[in-house]
Chains A and B, each alone.
With several copies, the nearest count.
Chain A
């Protein structure tokens, strides 16, 4: 490919035409304060969008569009760029017609309106990552997609507002035999997952707002389930029903899918927790290096088991590591941001990041992971990613050994 490397800093030959004369935007009025009552990104950022990989699935109603991680920074994922995974398209629900049912092994079987949910005591605000268990699933056999948007873009990190699921279960009164709950969506897939009662009573939320505003339609408007640290498929969107029972339901998404086929032909089920993982988002194939000299490497790290305690970065394919700077909040089961400021002389780099959480779990290499799991798992690929930065700055998804 053609080189992407710029000329680098140098004294200007003459006055910069972007300074002299004064640019037009400093001389004439721009658009007024309310041209967009609901604002949108700059036209110069038009490429920063979710992208679908159309060959991955047979239909867009059961597919995924990926978060452009390479262009994002900080810890919050903007609502408009949170990755989308549907199994029957987006349910468009009039909030006045929304109903939420709790039944099964409870003392009182109940129906709630959205207003009821918003009137429940104990509302909370919490930031959590949501990662699809199939994130990086295309990479089990080897480097395949050139861009962290596609290799790692099934994750977002959002501040949720909602009510602990426990509050509803408490009102309904879980019977002693109630050991699992089934959460069900109101979409055309009527998406269902079985969740152990301990988790349901622990930190799950019945959420109606994200990043300060109502849930987005593609994220379950008006109500979704939040299942901190656990695989995204369980975070039922358009939540319509919670049923309490004494055993799991063995639904399609916990048998045919979201089970992990190992090399010996056997399969792990109920692999709910998302292990510690990280990825360098820049440089990456969609965000090549453009200048020699000072550069900022950045990426994200997260763990479903707790809080990210440390992220190490290697520029030589894992031979030597430097601890990166975690910057901004590091909440349990939330995405953290890390930086490494470095000088680049134009040599080839093999960039990797390695996350550690506060349980002591260290993100494994792909080799370590394959040694235990083989390459047929599809789900839960949290192996260390390598980006090859060429001397012209171009960056490619590779594997090393």
Chain B
């Protein structure tokens, strides 16, 4: 007989939980759910013969991520000047010549000092914590519609230009694998780990108020967009 795995001993033998016994009573138009079979069976002692070794060329083709510590950066370099030429040719149509954004396309430069304002402008210079992300993302997903088309040198050059547009490197800067770790972005220190469980502890309430919870209630604001299918000259959206 073929080797058979994954039949947990408890299935079938399992006592029926109380909950379900109750729900099975005749004459009740209700439906109970049983206990799911539980965690998937522990991996077989014998290794599972699925998947084949990934070849080095294959890993290289897909392994494009770049980390803040420089892991993943390819060999290469590029200057702000080269970057400007490339940017004007491949990027400016959407992001503007100076990264100011055309129409609703993303803004890439400026915005310093706006993060506490009513309308924060979150750019590489004003918001992003790491320069590595610019390299990673531009190579990964830009120009929009032609992803992964930029060479390492081109990407270094464009990142150098974007850093320059954000006043982070001088006009004659040449970015390379070697000096990349030295580039620090100004807003990095302002990121911290999710702390909702402590700073929002008040949202865990055992007994929320049920009756007479407030004084009189009035409408304080109404929907700005009255059509359910908005169209026309609407405000610029904040879905990022």
The CA-CA distance from A4 to B144 in the complex, in Å, is 42
Q: Are B145 and A28 in contact (CB under 8 A)?
A: yes
Known contacts A170-B43, A250-B132: does B49 contact A286 (CB below 8 Å)?
no
16 contacts between A and B (CB under 8 A): A55-B235, A57-B104, A110-B52, A110-B53, A122-B40, A138-B238, A143-B222, A249-B67, A249-B136, A252-B133, A268-B196, A293-B50, A317-B217, A342-B2, A347-B2, A396-B223
Residues of B within 8 Å of A247, CB to CB, are: 67, 69
* In contact, A202 and B43 (Cβ under 8 angstroms): no
Q: Smallest CB-CB separation from A356: which chain B residue?
A: B208
Is B213 within 8 A of A320, CB to CB? yes
- When the two chains form their complex, are residues B212 and A320 in contact, meaning their CB atoms are under 8 A apart? yes
Closest chain A residue to B33 by CB distance? A329
Distance A264 CA – B117 CA, assembled complex (angstroms): 9
Interface locus among B81-89, B123-131, B155-163, B173-181: B123-131
A12, B55: Cβ atoms closer than 8 Å = yes
Inter-chain contact A329/B36, CB cutoff 8 Å: yes
**B74 interfacial contact with A, CB 8 Å:** no
Tell me which residues across on chain A come within 8 A of B71, comparing CB atoms. 245
Once the chains are docked, how many angstroms separate the CA of A255 from the CA of B229? 31
* B144–A252 CB distance below 8 A: no
Say whether A27 contacts B223, CB under 8 Å: no
Contact B34–A271 (Cβ < 8 Å)? no
A124 touches B240 (CB 8 A): no
Q: Check if B68 sits within 8 Å of A190, measured CB to CB.
A: no
B-side interface size class: 35 or more
Residues on B with C-beta less than 8 A from A375 are 118
Given A27, A121, A269, which contacts B48 in the complex, CB threshold below 8 Å? A121
Taking A88-B147, A137-B239 as contacts, is the C-beta distance between A321 and B228 under 8 angstroms? no
State whether A320 touches B58 (Cβ < 8 A): no
Number of interface residues of A (CB under 8 A): 164
* Residue B182 CB within 8 A of the other chain: no
Is there a chain B Cβ closer than 8 Å to A134's Cβ? Answer: yes
User: At the interface with chain B, which of A13-21, A38-46, A215-223?
Assistant: A13-21
CB-CB contacts below 8 Å: B188-240 with A = 190-196, 199-200, 202-206, 208-214, 217-232, 234-240
- When the two chains form their complex, are residues A255 and B6 in contact, meaning their CB atoms are under 8 A apart? no
Q: Would you call B130 and A250 a contact (CB within 8 A)?
A: yes
Chain A residues closer than 8 Å to B221, beta-carbon distance:
142-143, 398-399
| A residues 237-254 in Cβ contact with B at 8 Å | 240-241, 243, 245, 247, 249-252
Cβ-defined contact, B223 with A269, below 8 A: no
Contacts of A88 in B (CB 8 A): 141, 144, 147
Partner of A378, one of B33, B36, B66, B238: B238
Q: With both chains docked as a complex, state the minimum distance between the C-beta of B113 and any C-beta of chain A, in angstroms.
A: 9
Complex contacts, B68 vs chain A, CB 8 Å: 250
- Contact between chains at A58 and B104 (CB < 8 Å): yes
Query: Is A2 an interface residue, CB under 8 A from the partner?
Result: no
B40 CB contact (under 8 Å) in A22, A63, A164, A204: A164
Residue A299 CB within 8 A of the other chain: no
Q: Mark B1-15, 1 if CB is under 8 A from A, else 0.
A: 111111110011000
User: A267 contacts B191, CB within 8 Å?
Assistant: yes
B115 adjacent to A110 (CB under 8 Å)? no
Q: How near does chain A come to B109, taking the closest CB pair, in angstroms? A: 13
Is the C-beta of A235 less than 8 angstroms from some C-beta in chain B? no
- Within the complex, what minimum Cβ distance (angstroms) separates A364 from chain B? 5
B194 and A59: CB pair below 8 A?
no
Contact residues of B between 57 and 106, Cβ < 8 Å to A: 57-59, 61-69, 71, 94, 103-106
Specify which chain B residues have a CB less than 8 angstroms from the CB of A329 in the assembled complex.
33-34, 36
Which residues A275-309 have CB closer than 8 A to chain B? 275, 285-286, 293-294, 306-307, 309
A334 to B: closest C-beta gap in Å: 7
Given A56-B239, A101-B59, A322-B7: A265 in contact with B116 (beta carbons within 8 A) = yes
A84 interface hit (Cβ, 8 Å)? no
Closest B residue to A372 by beta carbon equals B200
Report how far A146 CA is from B224 CA in the complex, Å. Answer: 8
Contact (A143, B116) CB under 8 Å given A252-B137, A321-B209, A323-B11:
no
By the criterion CB–CB under 8 Å, are A256 and B237 in contact? no
| B170 proximal to A (CB < 8 A) | no
- Verify if A203 is at the interface (C-beta below 8 Å from B): yes
Give the chain A neighbours of B49 by CB distance below 8 A: 9, 293-294
Name B65's contact: one of A58, A147, A184 (CB within 8 Å). A184
Across the interface, do A109 and B2 meet the contact criterion of CB distance under 8 Å?
no
Q: State whether A399 and B1 are in contact (beta carbons under 8 Å apart), knowing that A27-B148, A101-B58 are contacts in the complex.
A: no
Is there contact, CB below 8 Å, between B218 and A400? yes
- With A59-B144, A121-B6, A146-B226: A257-B240 Cβ-Cβ less than 8 Å: yes
Q: Is the CB of A101 within 8 A of B62?
A: yes
Q: Is the CB of A350 within 8 A of B133?
A: no
- Known contacts A120-B48, A323-B12: A268-B192 contact under CB 8 Å: yes
Query: In this assembly, does A397 line the interface, its C-beta being within 8 Å of a C-beta of chain B?
Result: yes
Contact B213 A321 (CB under 8 A): yes
Do A203 and B29 form a contact, CB below 8 Å, given A310-B11, A312-B208? yes
User: Is B151 an interface position by the 8 A CB rule?
Assistant: no
A102 to B209, CA, bound (A): 43
Given contacts A142-B221, A294-B49, 11 further A-B contacts (CB under 8 A): A19-B62, A58-B106, A110-B52, A122-B6, A134-B239, A143-B221, A184-B65, A188-B147, A241-B62, A329-B36, A399-B219
